[in-house]
Structure formats: C-alpha cells, structure tokens
Amino acid sequence: MGPLGLSRAGLWLSRAMSRCVLEPRLAGKRWLVAGLGNPGLPGTRHSVGMAVLGHLARRLGVAESWVRDRRCAADLALASLGDAQLVLLRPRRLMNLNGHSVARAAELFGLTAEEVYLVHDELDKPLGKVALKLGGSARGHNGVRSCMSCLNSSVSLRLHPAPSRVAGTGPPTPLLTRAPWAPLAPPQAMPRLRVGIGRPTHQDAVQAYVLGRFSPAEQELLPPVLERAADLLLDHIRQRSQESSSGP
C-alpha cells in the first residue's frame, strides 16, 4: 500500500475509533486482543505475541490497516468476526509497560478486563504448544503483570519476583502500579493465550534467550504454531460472542 493508501487507512481508523468511543456500542460484541512484546524487536521469542497478532491480522484481512494511535501508544487495527468487532493492538511501549497501552485502549473502547485477550510468550511451555487460560498469576511475566495491574484484573496484586531484570521477566518496577484510568470495580479475570517458547537449560540464560531470535529450526515450526494460536483464539471469541448475544 502506498503513502496515499496508508493515509486513507489512518483517516478511516481514526474516524472509526471516534465513532466507537463517542457513539453507543453496536449490538455485536467487541473484544480487544493485545499481542505483548517489545517494540523494535520483531522475530524474538519474547515478542511472539506480536507475531500472533500479525498473523491474526492477515487472517482477518486487515494486515495493511495498522495505524499508530498516540493516545494509547500502540498500533491498532479494527476487524470483524461475524457480528463481533475485534480491536487488535500491538503496544509501542516496552514489555514492562505494555499494560498502560492495553488499559488506555480498553478505556477508549469501553471494555473491561474480561473483554481483553492477552497473547504472550510462555517459558514453561515448549515451542509448538498453545493454550488459553482465564486469569491466573503472571508467573514472572512482567508484561502480563503490567496488564493485570493497570486493568485491575483478577490477580493483579499477586506479584511474584522473577530471577532476573530482563524486560518482561524481572521484578516489578514502581511504574507498574495501577494506572489512573484503571477501573475501581472488583478484580476481573482476563483471558490469556499463552504461546510456548520453551525454557533454556540454565536459568541465568533466560535474559539472552527470551530477547534472542528464534533459531532456524524453530522458525520452521512457527507458521503452524501461529495458525493454531489464531484458530484457538478466534474459536474462543466466537463462542463467547454467541453466548453473549444469546443472553442468560
């Protein structure tokens, strides 16, 4: 897409977001899907959540629709899934601060933590394994911890220090307190799609491992992993959207 096309796409998304924020919510359900990672480090294990979002955008036909939104410091794309609307988000903040971008976008679109899906890497699962989880602890993942804290999610106060200070895996920083726009309602569980990246043999190698790029052998395994991750995520969203539309 050329500069003119990108400009038009940006204008369309800006107007669409304004309608989403200012107008009453449509009948279809809306969900926010955030791929966690470090901006500027594509292809690394720690940013596999962003790789899933890229694959998801291609599946949904919005791969050329990413637009930077300065209000939440993130790239956003809007997509349709049946009657539901998906807000795809890739933070432009470091992993440890991803939650500020996610929480700000949730506020703009009027969503609660239960309507926000996190997609992130998982050290304790081997590459090739993907799983959905509702709530649970951050397990040392500072990107997840940041989102829980900023969104006031179910276990946002269970802070478990990790062995190192690598972005996304170390002890929480003072900036990761609940953001001023986070809701004051009781904590809510947030669905998370965990994408296994495996764990290095030596614990002291975690930092280099997660910030390193996938090996050539691992890169061959990635396409079907991204496909399964997208399938699992979309199937779950479809089911929840149908349950929501059918009512109690």
pLDDT tens per residue, range 49-79 = 999 999 999 999 999 999 999 999 999 999 9
Active site residues: 46
Cα separation, 129 vs 9, in Å, equals 35
Q: Please report which confidence band the pLDDT of residue 187 belongs to, taking 50, 70 and 90 as the band edges.
A: low
pLDDT for 136: 79
pLDDT for 118: 97
Cα separation, 206 vs 3, in Å, equals 40
pLDDT for 15: 55
User: Which of these, 103, 102, 138, lies nearest to 122 by C-alpha position?
Assistant: 138
Q: Is the dihedral of CA 178, 183, 185, 191 positive or negative?
A: negative
Cα separation, 233 vs 88, in Å, equals 12
Q: What is the mean pLDDT of residues 94-110?
A: 96
pLDDT for 245: 74
pLDDT for 202: 87
> Looking up tokens 């359900």, which residue turns up?
29
Distances (CA, A) of 91 to 5, 99, 118, 204, 238: 23, 9, 11, 27, 24
Does 185 have pLDDT greater than 50? no
pLDDT for 103: 96
Length of the chain: 248
Q: Copy the structure tokens of residue 108.
A: 């703009």
pLDDT in tens, 193-219: 999 999 998 888 999 999 999 999 999
> Looking up tokens 């930092």, which residue turns up?
207
User: Which of these, 48, 54, 146, 56, lies nearest to 93 by C-alpha position?
Assistant: 146
Q: What is the mean pLDDT of residues 11-40?
A: 68
Cα separation, 69 vs 196, in Å, equals 29
pLDDT for 248: 58
Higher pLDDT, 69 or 167: 69
